[in-house]
Structure 1
Amino acid sequence: MLQIALWKRLGIILVCLAGLALALPNVFYTRAERHNDAVTAIERGAIATPEIEADLAQWPEILPSSLVNLGLDLRGGAHLLAEVQLGDVYAARLDGYWPEVRDALREVRDQIGTIRRQDSPADELRVRFSEPGGAQAAADAVRALAQPIVSLTGVGQSDIDVEVAGDILTVTLSDAERTATDDRTMQQSLEIIRRRVDEAGTREPTIQRQGADRILIQVPGIGSAQELKELIGTTARLTFHPVVSRSGSAETTVDADQLLHPSMDEAGAYYILERTPVVTGDDLVDSQPAFDQNGLPAVTFRFNPSGARAFGEFTANNVGAPFAIVLDEEVVTAPVIRQAITGGSGQITGNFDVAEANRLSILLRAGALPAEMTFLEERTIGPELGQDSIDAGQVASLVAMAAVVVFMVAAYGLFGVFATVALGINVALIFGILSLIGGTLTLPGIAGIVLTIGMAVDANVLVFERIREELRTAKGPARAIELGYERALSAIVDANITTFIIATILFTLGSGPVRGFAVTLGIGILTSVFTAIFVTRLLIILWFERRRPKQIEV
């Protein structure tokens, strides 16, 4: 007989109610969003001002408040395509090798004579020694510094190559180490960009690698591409260097192991610094905006234990000497060391306003980008264009649903009405699931929903046509309905499995808009099968149990 167990009925009803409850905040999107933003602000330590309290009251606490995040094409925002200058990392790596290379060569000084670093391309470290006869000893001493590469592709290989030509020793990164370094640099850049964007409180950014050295960044809701560039485009590399001397000219000649950087505050002032820093921003664990003793905006910082130890030892050994705090190749300040700084913390002062101090603290807290980025493409999408896309998507969805409703009611009468109710629940379930998983809805995603609306009734059509056939041979309408669902099930499952496989392939191999389409299509397939097999059937059974018709027309 035509029956569904009570626990199954309750389960179907609970799933539908849960989907409707999860989808409900999207009907009142602005109110729920303001409530969520206020909750996030309080979780981050903001003071509960009257404005925040008013925003919290925009949505009841007892109801779900998760929203479907709107993509860049629907909400407006900024789009950037950045190229990471991987060559900068090679230069930094080789600069870091210089102290070790120098110490290793000093141990064989009796064979190679005096040593001096030479000017060289960014991806090389060149050292001249005065006794060419000691070339082999110099090469062996430096090769002993080589380390095995920590990567799956570089197993069994070392990280540096050493060559000697006459009295010149050249150190370069090996090809395997360059490949591993490129991969680490891209992963680090992705993570730091994500931290910086998250620190700024933006919603659902898209940050992904493209090709060997490019990163795609899309941030919905941000004001402009320029604002996004200011947030993530600064390297924010903080280093602390011993000061050799000052200069008043940018043309000052410096040695290969020295740097010439301008002063941030004093126009025309330059500092000659030792190339190798004492500590770097990699040793920072925290940075916060603050005010100095004069009430002016400043930025505080705190080192990790190793950075604090190195900084403490340097200041203890150089009391009375100046040292420079360098931010992105500009000297922020160059104070004289009055006493050992052993606490592992300090303060950066300069010509900051409050906004600049806050932005700098975000950049330092998120970490320094390992290499400079060049922006190849930038676009700003206004919220008006995004709203136009939403309106167009709504119109398309309503037209599609209206056409389906008219066709189903005209073709199947009361059974078509049941299918229409299930279709509405189907759409609510799609939005409920997207809200639950924190999915992002894009314009292609709306296309996936529109396609789902058209496909959702396919299963009902298969069932209803099968019921029509069974009415000609079955004993009574109850048996016809039961057989219709049983014998149409295999066709429904087969058709939707193949479509779901296609959606999975699109999600796996695609990116950006293609993935957005695949997500909504895949979720729509699952919900349409559920509503066709369970929801429509439950509606028909409830109607049948109430009316007990002797004959039915489908």
Structure 2
Amino acid sequence: MLYFSRLKIISIIVFCLSLIFFSISNFINNEDFFLKKKVNLGLDLQGGSYLLLEVDKNPVINQTLQSKLTQVRNYFKKKEIKTFDYKLGKQKVLFKSDTNDQEKILELFKDDNELNPYFDVYKSNQYNVELIDNIFELTLTKYGIIEIEQSLLDQAIEIVRKRVDEVGTNEPSITKSGSNRIAVELPGLDNPDRIKSLLGRTANLTFRFVTQNTDASFGSEKLKNLDTGEELNVSKRIIISGDNLIDAKPQMDNINNETVVSFTLDRLGARKFGRATKNGIGKQLAIVLDNQIISAPVIRDVIASGSGQISGGFTFQSATDLALLLRSGALPAPLDIIEERTVGPDLGEDSIKAGVLSLIIGFILVILYMIYKYRLFGLISNFALIINLLMLLGFLTIFEATLTLPGIAGIILTVGMAVDANVLIFERIKEELKKEKNKVIAFDNGYTLSRTAILDANITTIIAALILFVFGSGPVKGFSVTLSIGILTTLFSVYYIARLLTSLYVMKNKNNEVTIK
């Protein structure tokens, strides 16, 4: 019905004014203004840097299989089954057994319950065992690899977000891109070198003793000391790792007049560190970061306080970056930068001007056409269209959405779809006026009978927008968001704002001649 109750009219007005109020906040620069929500400009409009990172899963897969190698060997030892020649190949574990035991081994691997007590994380859908040329091959299944990829990606995104936030970039966007990639958008950042250096480091920190044993079979390895350039023999036994760090920050050591990184350990780390320094007085303690020694001081006294310093000829910037890496934690796997783009602010400004200009031109042409075609009702449609755009901007402001160039395209498309809905309604009203003498009924039928076609068209568009949002990334998502919100505000403006104004006019002039040109 064309009738609107007083409560409904007040509700419509309050709802519209609220969203308009939010949209106006984008044009107020006063910092004291209590409403500070704004629509953020995306990378293509504000300028900045874009990085596409790929998670290298291979080291983690090999590490996982390495641990399985030990578990499998221990398992068969307890079962008194002779296995030998264990090797770690490319993403697989190889081993042999006596010919008489081969069938028995295959049966044991098929029995998940039998393996569980010994092979603690074994799952039949994650691992696969085959006998090829009398050699057993233990590999990860496709499901197992996907599970590792998802776990690595989730952890890596969290660490990347911590590192980017620590740098203090403005409104960064960090999202998944596919199964093993991370898209990082940094609006306003035109020099990404520091971010690249931070994101490109795994930051795996360990404290280990320098040993005199040169035989690798005794659990040692040669690592380069970045401070002196010499190679030192370092024990593979880890005293504490970066997981035990609570805090790290750059500090000036006034005694030696150098910049150091001071760190604080958790309770477990402090206890381990205190015990190790007590037993290791006079020994060198290697502080290893990503398989490189950054410092190797000699232990002079017991360190039981749970805090210490890392020195290594740091500048204040390098000490700050190292502290940042240690605070944010180690990446679960290396990250490779496979794509990099930088957009200058001038190009972003040109994009804004081009987008706004196209929106203004399209908007003016639509307004003129609607006035020419439908006269007074065209004016009503145009007024509803203006409110529609302000409501759309208001919603984007509430969610503090990021507006991109495709997002502007979504707004322009919203204008077209809003007008299309009004055209369908007005043309339907014209048909109803030809066969219905009662003007109120004719107008009401026009809105009611055209509703199905309008809803079908807009719902199918929303479905397409949702698919773009789920499977798209970056600017594509921006387009789908603005389009989806635009469709909802369009339906509201057509069936509440335009219909309310139309009903007020028709009810006031129901005894006079009312036509749509």
1:494–1:180 CA distance, 2 compared to 1 (3 A): closer
Cross-structure match for 2:297: 335
Query: Is 1:67 aligned to 2:35, yes or no?
Result: no
Q: Report the Cα distance in structure 2 between the residues aligned to 1:305 and 1:155, rounded to whole angstroms.
A: 38
Q: Report the Cα distance in structure 2 between the residues aligned to 1:60 and 1:188, rounded to whole angstroms.
A: 39
Q: Report the Cα distance in structure 1 between the residues aligned to 2:128 and 2:265, rounded to whole angstroms.
A: 28
Q: CA deviation at 1:385?
A: 1.1
Q: Report the Cα distance in structure 2 between the residues aligned to 1:413 and 1:194, rounded to whole angstroms.
A: 54
Query: Is 1:401 aligned to 2:363, yes or no?
Result: yes
Question: Which residues of 2 match residues 118-157 of structure 1 at below 5 A?
Answer: 146-149=119-122, 154=123
Question: Which residues of 2 match residues 257-272 of structure 1 at below 5 A?
Answer: 257-266=219-228, 268-272=229-233
Q: Report the Cα distance in structure 1 between the residues aligned to 2:176 and 2:65, rounded to whole angstroms.
A: 26
CA contact (8 A) 2:2 2:500 kept: no
Cross-structure match for 1:199: 166
1:392–1:430 CA distance, 2 compared to 1 (3 A): same
Query: Is 1:4 aligned to 2:7, yes or no?
Result: no
Cross-structure match for 2:112: none
Cross-structure match for 1:218: 185
Match of 1:285 among 241, 246, 249: 246
CA contact (8 A) 1:148 1:158 kept: no
CA contact (8 A) 1:240 1:280 kept: yes
Q: Report the Cα distance in structure 1 between the residues aligned to 2:447 and 2:146, rounded to whole angstroms.
A: 58
Match of 1:413 among 375, 388, 399: 375
Query: Is 1:431 aligned to 2:393, yes or no?
Result: yes
Q: Report the Cα distance in structure 1 between the residues aligned to 2:342 and 2:146, rounded to whole angstroms.
A: 34
* Farther-moved stretch of structure 1 (358-367 vs 202-211): 202-211
For structure 1, which runs of at least 5 residues remain unmatched after alignment? 32-57, 128-135, 137-141, 247-251
Instruction: Tell me the SS of whatever aligns to 1:531.
Output: helix
Q: Report the Cα distance in structure 2 between the residues aligned to 1:450 and 1:321, rounded to whole angstroms.
A: 70
CA contact (8 A) 1:263 1:271 kept: yes
CA contact (8 A) 2:22 2:398 kept: yes
Query: Is 1:84 aligned to 2:55, yes or no?
Result: yes
CA contact (8 A) 1:263 1:270 kept: yes
Instruction: Tell me the SS of whatever aligns to 1:350.
Output: strand
Q: Report the Cα distance in structure 2 between the residues aligned to 1:126 and 1:466, rounded to whole angstroms.
A: 75
1:356–1:547 CA distance, 2 compared to 1 (3 A): farther
CA contact (8 A) 1:320 1:338 kept: yes
Instruction: Tell me the SS of whatever aligns to 1:351.
Output: strand
Question: Which residues of 2 match residues 106-117 of structure 1 at below 5 A?
Answer: none
CA contact (8 A) 1:300 1:345 kept: yes
Query: Is 1:387 aligned to 2:349, yes or no?
Result: yes
Instruction: Tell me the SS of whatever aligns to 1:61.
Output: coil
Cα deviation, 1:514-551, whole Å, max 9, x if unaligned, reads 22221111111100010011011222344556777722
Cα deviation, 1:131-160, whole Å, max 9, x if unaligned, reads xxxxx9xxxxx99853224xxxx4576799
1:183–1:471 CA distance, 2 compared to 1 (3 A): closer
1:83–1:276 CA distance, 2 compared to 1 (3 A): farther
Normalization by structure 1: what TM-score? Answer: 0.78
CA contact (8 A) 2:244 2:265 kept: yes
Instruction: Tell me the SS of whatever aligns to 1:504.
Output: helix
CA contact (8 A) 1:477 1:550 kept: no
Query: Is 1:422 aligned to 2:384, yes or no?
Result: yes
Q: CA deviation at 1:461?
A: 1.5
1:201–1:492 CA distance, 2 compared to 1 (3 A): same
Instruction: Tell me the SS of whatever aligns to 1:550.
Output: coil
1:18–1:499 CA distance, 2 compared to 1 (3 A): same
1:237–1:290 CA distance, 2 compared to 1 (3 A): same
RMSD (Å), alpha carbons: 4.0
Cross-structure match for 1:186: 153
1:190–1:543 CA distance, 2 compared to 1 (3 A): same
Instruction: Tell me the SS of whatever aligns to 1:244.
Output: coil
Q: Report the Cα distance in structure 2 between the residues aligned to 1:119 and 1:259, rounded to whole angstroms.
A: 19
Q: Report the Cα distance in structure 1 between the residues aligned to 2:223 and 2:202, rounded to whole angstroms.
A: 16
Cα deviation, 1:268-305, whole Å, max 9, x if unaligned, reads 32221012322211232322333334364332223334
CA contact (8 A) 1:147 1:158 kept: no
Q: Report the Cα distance in structure 2 between the residues aligned to 1:540 and 1:215, rounded to whole angstroms.
A: 50
